[in-house]
Amino acid sequence: MAKKFNFNLQKYLDYKESIVNNKSAELLKSKKNLDDENKKLDKLFSEKELANKNFNENKPSRILDFAVMSSYSNQISNNIDDQKIILSEKMKKFENEKISLQKDFKEKKALEIIKDKKLDKHKSFIKKINNKNLDDLYMTRAKRDSK
């Protein structure tokens, strides 16, 4: 009877598969965080728009009102700048995780290709053995029938 196929790098392939799965989950979390930060930035932009609109509509008559509205607008602008920095950092982290996932996925895919090639070679070997056994069987029958 032929030997069962045994891929000697199967544990490593399983390990790579678990790494790819974990990194995929991390990438989804990163994508969600990135989307949340984008929403925060959009909210800040709309808040600034609203503040500017109120500033233009109300045209403060007192200097104190003008200073308060101007300070509020500047504070929102500073928050927007801070949010852009945070968003940029999250984007870099996301891109790095994406590159890392792609690298691990390529390694896993290469191992799967190696496994498939070895499996095909094993199947071919088993087929040759079976054909040889059938040929031997036919030969013995032919000898027995000719006697």
CB-based burial, 99-132: b 16+ in 10 Å, e otherwise: eebeebbeebeebeeebeeeeeebeeeeeeeeee
126 Cβ partners below 8 Å, 6+ apart? Answer: 2
Residue 142 has pLDDT above 90, yes or no: no
SS (H, E, C) 30-58: HHHHHHHHHHHHHHHHHHHHHHHHHHHHH
What pLDDT was estimated at residue 94? 95
Please report the pLDDT score of residue 1 as a whole number: 54
Taking alpha carbons only, the member of 114, 116, 113, 131 closest to residue 2 is 131
Residue 65 has pLDDT above 60, yes or no: yes
**pLDDT of 21 above 80:** yes
Q: What is the pLDDT of residues 69-113, one digit of tens each?
A: 889 889 999 999 999 999 999 999 999 999 999 999 999 999 999
pTM score of the predicted model: 0.73
Higher pLDDT, 139 or 20: 20
Q: How far apart are CA 125 and CA 2, in angstroms?
A: 9
**Mean pLDDT estimate for the chain:** 91
- The whole-number pLDDT of residue 74 equals 92
